[in-house]
Amino acid sequence: MKRLFRTFLLASAMAAGLGLNGPALAADGPSNDDLLNDAKSTGDVLTYGMGHQAQRFSPLDKLNPDTVKGLVPVWSFSFGGEKQRGQESQPIIHDGTIYVTGSYSRLYAVDVKTGQKKWQYDHRLPEGIMPCCDVVNRGAALYKDKIYFATLDARLVALNKDTGKVVWSKKIEDYKAGYSATAAPLIVDGKVITGNSGGEFGIIGMVEARDAETGELVWQRPTIEGNMGTLNGKESTMTGVMNASWSGDLYKTGGGATWLGGTYDPETKTLFFGTGNPAPWNSHLRPGDNLYTSSTLAIDPANGDIKWHYQTTPHDGWDFDGVNELVSFDLKKDGQTIKAGAKADRNGFFYVLDRTNGKLLSASPFVTKITWAKEIDVKTGRPVYNDDNRPGTPVGAEKGTSVFAAPAFLGAKNWMPMAYSPATELFYVPANEWGMDIWNEPITYKKGAAYLGAGFTIKPLYDDYIGALRAIDPKTGKIVWEYKNPAPLWGGVLTTGGNLVFTGTPEGYLKAFDAKSGKEVWKFNTGSGVVGSPVTWEQDGEQYVAVVSGWGGAVPLWGGDVAKLVKDINQGGSLWVFKLPKA
Q: Which residues are part of the catalytic machinery?
A: 319
Strand partners, 347: none
CB atoms within 10 A of CB 435: 21
Cα distances from 338 to residues 333, 349, 497, in angstroms, run: 8, 20, 22
User: How far apart, in whole angstroms, are the C-alpha atoms of residue 388 and residue 403?
Assistant: 8
Strand partners, 230: 220, 235
- In sequence order, the 6+-apart residues with CB closer than 8 A to the CB of 488 are 410, 432, 434, 466, 467, 506, 555, 559, 562, 566
Residue 68, H or E segment: none
Collapsed DSSP state (helix, strand, coil) of residue 4: helix
Collapsed DSSP state (helix, strand, coil) of residue 531: coil
| Closest alpha carbon to 408 in 380, 378, 367, 360 | 367
- In sequence order, the 6+-apart residues with CB closer than 8 A to the CB of 398 are none
Angle at 17 between CA 15 and CA 19, to 5 degrees: 65
> What residue type is assigned to position 476 of the chain?
T
Residue 289, H or E segment: none
Report DSSP state, residue 553.
S
User: How far apart, in whole angstroms, are the C-alpha atoms of residue 290 and residue 454?
Assistant: 18
Pair type for strands 57-58 and 493-496: parallel
Query: Counting Cβ atoms within 10 Å, is residue 149 exposed (0-12), middle (13-18) or buried (19+)?
Result: buried
| Closest alpha carbon to 199 in 316, 111, 62 | 316
Cα distances from 295 to residues 256, 298, 326, 454, in angstroms, run: 9, 10, 11, 21
- In sequence order, the 6+-apart residues with CB closer than 8 A to the CB of 432 are 367, 407, 408, 410, 411, 412, 413, 414, 466, 467, 468, 488, 489
Are 503 and 517 contacting, i.e. CB atoms less than 8 angstroms apart? Answer: no
Sheet holding 360-365, edge to edge: 327-333, 336-344, 349-354, 360-365
